[in-house]
Amino acid sequence: MPGGPLCLVLNAASGHGEAGAAVAEIEQACAAAGRTLQVFAIDKRHPPQQQAGAAVAAAQAGGGIVGVAGGDGTINTVAQATLGSGCAFGVLPQGTFNYFARNHGIPTEMEGALRVLLSQPPQPVQVGLVNDRVFLVNASLGVYAQLLEDREAFKSRYGRNRFVAFGAALRTLFGQHRPWDLRLAWGGEVHSLRTASLFVGNNALQFEQVGVAEGEALEGGSLVAVLVRPMHRLARLGLLLRGAASRLDDAEKVQTLSFRSLDVAPSRGALRRRVKVATDGEVGFMQMPLRFRVAPEPLWLIRPPAVA
């Protein structure tokens, strides 16, 4: 609602004084736009899920919007709380890759993102679910989920940048990985296959960068899965290089498919029930079987007008 409060979830522990400077800039922009600001800071005593819920409740009570300042993982947490609440959702991206914001045309610098957040109307955007857990960018299991764990370990030691992320990817790809025997059901078909990784995407920009043409199906209201067959270490390096060169579709052991609902279960003889699943960069355990699907309702995102 125009003029309603901006109920903003923000990580108070980020940077050296950067959070305070960001709040001051946001307060100034809100004052200029005639909008009040309520900040719900994430810290050791106030975890992300708690603050996201509090922000949604405040936005519902005051006819405002829910905002989040953070990377894709923090954005995911707040989106989970916002979906189905009736509230509009705004993003001030502060991550390394910012796939969600960039995919929807939201500027990655604060001034531009604030201008969009405080002036544009909300528009519906597609959300993915895995066992009812939201993902805005991607969800995965297998090698890709392991890569995210390794990347976070590297970042805690060496800092957060793209070179560190690439180094973590190399370490993951050259490690030992047990393949998965899975049964996949979608569109009335059932297939059993062995894979090193199952990656489900909801972000056209990410697919475009690695060269997966099937990503165009996202525009038609589908999700897209990428399955990688087991391969030796040097072949994994070649796959990484193909992705970096936007040529993943050319890889012989990569299979893609689009769907609105995909059920994933262990094949006969497979014993694993609880599995590590990554959603928008955050890794946790989920119970098999997994159901990946398009959420029945959209997220009402404040974003620039779509370019025809």
Amino acid sitting at position 243: G
DSSP state of 304: P
Burial classification of residue 181, based on how many CB atoms lie within 10 Å of its CB (0-12 exposed, 13-18 middle, 19 or more buried): middle
HSE-CB of 288 using CA atoms within 13 angstroms: 17
Residue 17: what pLDDT?
Answer: 47
What does pLDDT average to over the chain? 85
Residue 299 has pLDDT above 80, yes or no: yes
Residue partners of 302: CB distance under 8 A and separation at least 6? 65, 88, 89, 90, 91, 116, 117, 120, 121, 122, 123
Q: What is the mean pLDDT of residues 259-281?
A: 84
Q: Average pLDDT, stretch 159-169?
A: 61
Predicted local distance difference test score (pLDDT) of residue 142: 81
Q: H helices of the chain, where? A: 18-33, 48-62, 72-82, 99-103, 110-117, 143-158, 162-173, 204-210, 233-244
pLDDT of residue 169: 61
Q: Which amino acid is at 50?
A: Q
Higher pLDDT, 170 or 21: 21
Q: Fill in the amino acid letter for 122.
A: P
Residue 211: the pLDDT is: 83
* Candidate ranges 51-65, 141-155, 188-202; pick with highest mean pLDDT: 51-65
**pLDDT exceeding 70 applies to what percent of the chain?**
76
Percent of the chain with pLDDT over 90: 60
The Cα–Cα gap between 168 and 150 comes to 6
235-255: average pLDDT: 61
Does position 236 have pLDDT exceeding 60, yes or no?
no
User: pLDDT digits over 96-117, tens only?
Assistant: 789 999 999 999 999 999 999 9
Given the structure tokens 């959209």, which residue do they identify? 298
Give the domains, in start order, of the chain with CATH numbers.
Answer: 6-120 (3.40.50.10330), 134-294 (2.60.200.40)
Q: How far is CA 161 from CA 19, 68, 143, 199, 265, in A?
A: 19, 21, 21, 23, 35
* pLDDT band for position 14 (cuts 50, 70, 90): low
pLDDT at 162: 61
pTM: 0.85
Q: How confident is the model at residue 209 (pLDDT cuts 50, 70, 90)?
A: confident
Which range, of 23-32, 143-152, 267-276, 292-301, averages the lowest pLDDT?
Answer: 143-152
Q: List all residues 6 or more positions away from 109 whose beta carbon is below 8 Å from its beta carbon.
A: none
